Amino acid sequence: MSLQVRSQVSLKPFNSFGVDVQARWFAEAHSDADVREALAYGLEHKVPVLVIGGGSNLLLTADIEALVLRMATRGIRVLSDDGSKVVIEAQAGEPWHPFVQHTLAQGLSGLENLSLIPGTVGAAPMQNIGAYGVEIKDVFAGLTALDRHSGELRDFSLEECNFAYRDSLFKQDPGRWLILRVRFTLDRAAHLHLEYGPVRQRLTEQGIEHPTASDVSQAICSIRSEKLPDPAVLGNAGSFFKNPLVSGELAARLKGEYPDLVAYAQADGQMKLAAGWLIERAGWKGFREADAGVHKLQALVLVNYGDATGLQLLDLAQRIQKDVADRFQVELEMEPNRY
């Protein structure tokens, strides 16, 4: 058995909140064979297997009575290149931002707006991660996943993944599919997405009139670094709440009461509200109780100032949800997976 299973392992280094809980068992998968061994171990010992990546989308509220399997598979390869479009595949355990930087270094465009997002390649399609006008679905070419029920491998097309805002088939049915590798279609010629004002403004400030994909990536990295705390310094999981989708009628009513409401029209007639604006307007920005708090510069980010527990962070999040619902009649949904 090549898989190394350890018992009673602290998960503090493996979640970006830095919450200190224990895993009953812990292992790292460096290959498909390791993944299968871990699942077999779970069946043999009658324990569930919880698969994690970079731990940047987790809120751990108690010790985990399971085998925690951290995906540490590595590998990037080009599957096809017609001189214009390149299909590239990455293993699920590849850290996301270094993968983005790798594609840019190869002269490929498509992922630059998703720079500096924490986590791993395998987690990216689960959340359909997105930023600055681009989502995974926009560059997705397919993925290979293991069916935990049957043990068979299956390839998924774009249509089969049911991608939506911060959602996918794999998030809707988390216990079934284990993503092993993901494929992306990228461009040799840059087709830049500069719809978001702050990105264009940052490039203008830098005197860049004709940006490259790398220029856009660097601008986004600088913006994100200013807005979002580094988890290595201050525990956090990035944006803690989704930007809520509401009816045009409710958005219009709120806009009448709050003219500075930040809202974006959607193709289906709904409006997407800025959760950070709602939280800040409700007075939570900079709030701190013990070591659980709301970041002083970005109300969308909950932070662990040191020794906050997952339950303390969850309690804070639920109080924010209730306050926002009472004030604005808007329900906020948490992004991190809770255990």
Could you give the residue range(s) of every CATH 3.90.78.10 domain in the chain? 235-338
CA-based max dimension of the chain:
64
- Please state which architecture CATH assigns to domain 235-338: Alpha-Beta Complex (3.90)
State pLDDT tens for residues 238-266: 999 999 999 999 999 999 999 999 999 99
DSSP secondary structure string for all residues of 6-50: EEEEE-GGGSTT----EEEEEEEE-SHHHHHHHHHHHHHHT--EE
- Three-state SS at 310: helix
pTM, two decimals, is 0.91
State pLDDT tens for residues 99-148: 999 999 999 999 999 999 999 999 999 999 999 999 999 999 999 999 99
Active site residues: 166, 239, 335
CATH assignment of 76-227, among 1.10.150.20, 3.40.50.1100, 3.90.550.10, 3.30.465.10: 3.30.465.10
Kind and range of the H or E run holding 51: strand 49-52
Q: What is the mean pLDDT of the chain?
A: 96
The position carrying tokens 């679905």 is 137
State pLDDT tens for residues 173-231: 988 999 999 999 999 998 999 988 889 999 999 999 999 999 999 999 999 998 889 99
- Please state which architecture CATH assigns to domain 6-71: 2-Layer Sandwich (3.30)
